[in-house]
Amino acid sequence: MVAAAAGAQARTGRADWLIVGGASAGTVFEWYDFYLYGSLAGVISEQFFSGVNATTGYIFALLAFAAGFAVRPFGALVFGRLGDLWGRKNTFLVTMVLMGLSTFAVGLLPSYAAVGVAAPVALILMRLIQGLALGGEYGGAATYVAEHAPEGKRGLYTSWIQTTATFGLFLSLVVILVVRTRVGEDAFKAWAWRIPFLVSSVLLAVSMWIRLRLNESPVFQRMVAEGKSSKQPLTDSFAKWGNLKLVLLALAGLTAGQAVVWYTGQFYALFFLEKTLKVDGALTNTLVAIALLLGTPFFVVFGWLSDKIGRKPVILAGCLLAALTYFPIFKALTVAANPQLAAASASAPVTVVADPADCAFQFDPVGKKAFVSSCDLAKSALATAGVSYANQAAPAGSVAAVKIGQVVIPSFRGETLPAAELKTQKAAWTKSLGAALKTAGYPAKADPAKMNKPLVVGLLWLLVIYVTLVYGPVAAALVEMFPARIRYTSMSLPYHIGNGWFGGFLPTTAFAMVAATGNIYYGLWYPIVVAAITVVVGGLFVKEMRGAPIEA
């Protein structure tokens, strides 16, 4: 009998890990598809938004990327409802097919040069489908695994689902690097950028094969058999104050802070290195990929720890550490990745001295407006050069100037100049500004030979550790907050509002804050404030639910 019991336990263990592996493999594939677009935003801009100027095209490419985040909460509502009515397994099979087919289709879409405006319209449609699918995927996978997990191991089991977003990002970076290396940059930009999208068809087939072997969640099966399932999951989740209050607490006290820490530690760090510190793109991807690889096991470590000490202490510790240390970490990252830039910023700080009325918020959604005031010309040149600057008010009507240490470079008024003369004078002035910046020690690009690569990887790894703290236990925390009959719907919405809106729009919001102030670190206030709010709300109002029964 002992031997039989041991054999049954072994079979159960193998079945459990098939469940975790199957759910996780499919979710990795969906994250791979979703983040592939973000990793290729520059190429996408050239292929699908070439009808406007390059800057506006890149903005449109980022907006198309953001569209996928914007619709994730709506996907949570649609597929969360279906998951509570149809079942966990059936629903995330549907989301997987939608994600796979839409991603494969991106690899086949004609470019703007071939079909005109139909190209970006089709691209955005595919992004919307991807966002809707991802909005339904995560809640289903997390719920499915949690409802299979043995007592006392819910955090450990669901933490494997939490690794999937990072693995998906890592996989997208690796596939892009491999294809770029094999075919060369010119061929990659011309046609081979499609290969990573087309590869998703193979991943879809493998993931579908794995997931079709899985059975429905036992909690859902029992609930249906006993007639306890919800007939109106949306109403029960959001129209009744008792559950709606839990949804709002889950958002403000858990997922909003978790989301901004995740996107700061992975996406914004990558953006900061490449766009702000001027580190080569391939080197940036490599350094981030190494940090992700070293940090990913800690998702499981902190998921396991949350089974021992609770979900709240682990998640809120990550939010608090992030809020307290982001500024010193990113300043240290500047010193390690581009020491010449850090030294120049300290010895010869840059200030734009201008009449505030002369300075515009430089965003033009149609690419037609010219920013030609003396202040706008100065700030545009500094932003293009990746130079951080302070702002100093000048008397009304005065011409703006750029102060580099003790050197003053007056700008010029472009409002009344003919287009040809404006172009000539702007080129000459930008050249003189560049020479002054170079003399002051400001580099055009980060020098890999002078970079402290181990320290850069170490700082990126620390940012990933914060990600693992907040993200490892969050699936278990959300599952335990809501009753089984409306769990898929209830947990999906706060998760995807937090990660789709608070997190997904973080790079754009932070960049806008930097552009408005000129301070390369100012955008960090966004994740710091949101993480701090989560610490307060979560600490005071979110109830610890570790080990709570989830069958009811």
Answer yes or no: are the C-beta atoms of 69 and 505 closer than 8 Å. Answer: yes
- What would you report as the CA-atom Rg of the chain, rounded to the nearest whole angstrom? 25
pTM: 0.85
Answer yes or no: are the C-beta atoms of 273 and 508 closer than 8 Å. Answer: no
Q: Is 370 exposed, middle or buried (0-12, 13-18, 19+ CB in 10 A)?
A: exposed
CA 51 vs CA 112, 187, 194, 479: distances in Å: 7, 21, 20, 46
Which residues touch 90 (CB under 8 Å, ≥6 apart)? 82, 216
Q: Which two tokens stand for residue 465?
A: 């550790």
Mind listing the pLDDT tens digit of every residue in the chain (552 residues)?
Answer: 333 333 334 334 445 677 777 777 767 876 787 678 777 877 887 888 876 655 556 667 767 777 888 888 998 888 888 888 887 778 878 888 888 898 899 999 999 889 888 888 898 899 889 888 888 877 778 888 888 888 889 999 989 888 887 888 888 888 888 998 899 888 998 999 999 999 888 888 888 887 787 777 787 888 878 787 788 888 988 989 999 999 999 999 999 999 999 999 988 898 899 888 989 877 988 898 899 889 999 999 999 999 999 999 999 999 999 999 999 999 999 999 999 999 999 999 999 999 999 888 765 544 456 678 999 889 888 877 778 899 999 999 999 999 999 999 999 998 888 988 988 999 999 999 999 999 999 998 999 999 999 999 999 999 999 999 999 999 999 999 999 888 988 888 998 899 888 988 887 788 778 877 888 899 999 999 999 999 999 999 999 989 887 776
Quote the pLDDT of residue 2: 36
Helix (H, G, I), strand (E, B) or coil at 159: helix
DSSP secondary structure string for all residues of 317-375: HHHHHHHHHHHHHHHHHHHHH-HHHHHHHHHS-EEEEE-GGG------TTS-----SHH
Quote the pLDDT of residue 541: 96
**Distance separating alpha carbons of residues 123 and 352, to the nearest angstrom:** 39
Helix (H, G, I), strand (E, B) or coil at 408: strand
**Distance separating alpha carbons of residues 425 and 410, to the nearest angstrom:** 13
Quote the pLDDT of residue 344: 93
* Domains observed in the chain: 13-338+449-541 (1.20.1250.20), 343-439 (3.40.30)
**Distance separating alpha carbons of residues 525 and 521, to the nearest angstrom:** 8
Quote the pLDDT of residue 12: 42
Answer yes or no: are the C-beta atoms of 347 and 283 closer than 8 Å. Answer: no
Q: Which two tokens stand for residue 59?
A: 């903005």
Residues facing 374 on adjacent strands: none
Closest CA to 460 of 338, 305, 287, 307: 287
Answer yes or no: are the C-beta atoms of 51 and 366 closer than 8 Å. Answer: no
Answer yes or no: are the C-beta atoms of 162 and 474 closer than 8 Å. Answer: yes
